[in-house]
């Protein structure tokens, strides 16, 4: 074969090998941000309510992330964008580099009581204020999900719910029933969901069931399910059903709340607000009702967001605002320094 026949092939191979390596259209930071942007664009439920122009954020985010390859810097910039939502159900986790962020500002209560030591002092002040109502001992339930106590006169009972998770539902029901047995004859009941991060709605509804005398709408919810920001599923109604064995008939129920009462604690407050004998004291709940939608980026970072809208039976939505209170009082470190829980101190005049 004539050696010249190889010449065109040689030239093609030579030219190909001299071509610079083609870079991807997007670099690492931009790719990850676009993945996250698409997930939010398809699933997030509150762009308008949270006043975030997500289309505009796409352009600005790409500019911020352009050229970034360092994981920590990429993470920091994305978290800065997410913080604009102010939604505590928005989280980003990069476990392999030990970073995480939450999109919401710190609730006021945590600013007043930022450490375990300061929170311990708050609980001691609470106990001192409860003693003035005759509740001299506050007990922990078996798995320390609940705290409870009752005055010897049975005039007052105290019932703290630390969280709405931690046990399978059937085990939860057993532990709850034991607490209810101790407080069921109280004339007035204080339910405390301050600093309750939530959990699951069935646990919240189980507690509410002891207080309702008839079936009621607990809440109505819709799930984001389409490309348009207002595409949602048909309304799904959840009911609270009276407990089949025990019905608490306290003449007055007081619910203590604050801005660190979120998620299922929000939902619990929404359900309980329908009780005619209920008075809510404190500050509004956190206002993050939705169940959490979870997804994962291509590099393994995981995220969560709110993809549902919850409504009360009157179709009011308290997302971002929280369930309102009847009497607004904040816990402050100055009161705790005097061994006083301001919310329980208010109840001394309710005798």
156-214, pLDDT tens digit by residue?
999 999 999 999 999 999 999 999 999 999 999 999 999 999 999 999 999 999 999 99
147's tokens: 């705290």
Across the chain, what does the average pLDDT equal? 93
Q: What is the CA radius of gyration of the chain?
A: 27
pLDDT at 350: 77
Spatial distance between the Cα atoms of 62 and 160, rounded to a whole number of angstroms = 46
Task: Please report which confidence band the pLDDT of residue 1 belongs to, taking 50, 70 and 90 as the band edges.
Answer: very low
Residue 299 pLDDT > 60, yes or no?
Answer: yes
pLDDT at 11: 41
Distances (CA, A) of 170 to 106, 140, 167, 174, 197: 34, 19, 8, 6, 21
Average the pLDDT over 264-275 and give the result: 97
Spatial distance between the Cα atoms of 215 and 239, rounded to a whole number of angstroms = 7
Q: What are phi and psi of 254, to 5 degrees?
A: -115, 130
Q: If we measure between CA atoms, which residue out of 131, 117, 125 comes closest to residue 339?
A: 125
Residue 20 pLDDT > 80, yes or no?
Answer: no
Q: If we measure between CA atoms, which residue out of 180, 121, 259 comes closest to residue 129?
A: 121
Asked if 281 and 325 touch (Cβ cutoff 8 Å), the reply is yes
Asked if 306 and 35 touch (Cβ cutoff 8 Å), the reply is no
Spatial distance between the Cα atoms of 172 and 143, rounded to a whole number of angstroms = 9
Spatial distance between the Cα atoms of 193 and 64, rounded to a whole number of angstroms = 40
166's tokens: 């931690």
Which of 9-18, 37-46, 54-63, 142-151 comes out lowest in average pLDDT? 9-18
- Residue 291 is classified by DSSP as P
pLDDT at 75: 97
Say how far residue 199 (Cα) sits from the centre of its chain.
8
pLDDT at 13: 41
């Amino acid at each position: 074969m004539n050696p010249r026949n190889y010449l065109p092939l040689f030239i093609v191979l030579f030219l190909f090998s001299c071509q610079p390596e083609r870079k991807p259209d997007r670099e690492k930071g931009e790719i990850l941000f676009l993945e996250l942007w698409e997930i939010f664009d398809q699933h997030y439920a509150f762009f308008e309510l949270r006043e975030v122009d997500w289309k505009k954020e796409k352009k600005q985010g790409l500019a911020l992330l352009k050229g970034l390859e360092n994981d920590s810097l990429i993470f920091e910039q994305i978290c800065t964008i997410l913080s604009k939502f102010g939604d505590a159900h928005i989280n980003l986790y990069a476990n392999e580099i030990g970073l995480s962020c939450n999109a919401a500002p710190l609730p006021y209560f945590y600013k007043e009581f930022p450490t375990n030591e300061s929170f311990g002092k708050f609980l001691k002040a609470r106990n001192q204020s409860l003693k003035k109502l005759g509740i001299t001992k506050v007990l922990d339930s078996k798995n320390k999900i609940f705290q409870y106590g009752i005055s010897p006169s049975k005039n007052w009972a105290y019932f703290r719910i630390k969280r709405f998770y931690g046990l399978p539902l059937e085990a939860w029901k057993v532990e709850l029933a034991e607490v209810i047995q101790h407080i069921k004859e109280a004339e007035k009941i204080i339910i405390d969901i301050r600093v309750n991060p939530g959990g699951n709605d069935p646990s919240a509804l189980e507690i509410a069931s002891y207080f309702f005398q008839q079936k009621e709408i607990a809440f109505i919810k819709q799930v984001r399910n389409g490309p348009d920001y207002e595409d949602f599923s048909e309304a799904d109604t959840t009911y609270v059903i009276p407990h089949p064995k025990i019905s608490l008939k306290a003449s007055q129920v007081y619910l203590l709340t604050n801005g660190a009462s979120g998620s299922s604690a929000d939902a619990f407050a929404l359900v309980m607000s329908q009780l005619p004998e209920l008075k809510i004291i404190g500050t509004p709940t956190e206002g993050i009702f939705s169940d959490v939608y979870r997804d994962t980026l291509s590099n393994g970072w995981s995220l969560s967001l709110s993809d549902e809208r919850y409504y009360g039976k009157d179709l009011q939505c308290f997302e971002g605002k929280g369930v309102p209170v009847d009497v607004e009082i904040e816990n402050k470190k100055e009161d705790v320094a005097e061994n006083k829980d301001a919310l329980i101190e208010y109840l001394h005049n309710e005798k």
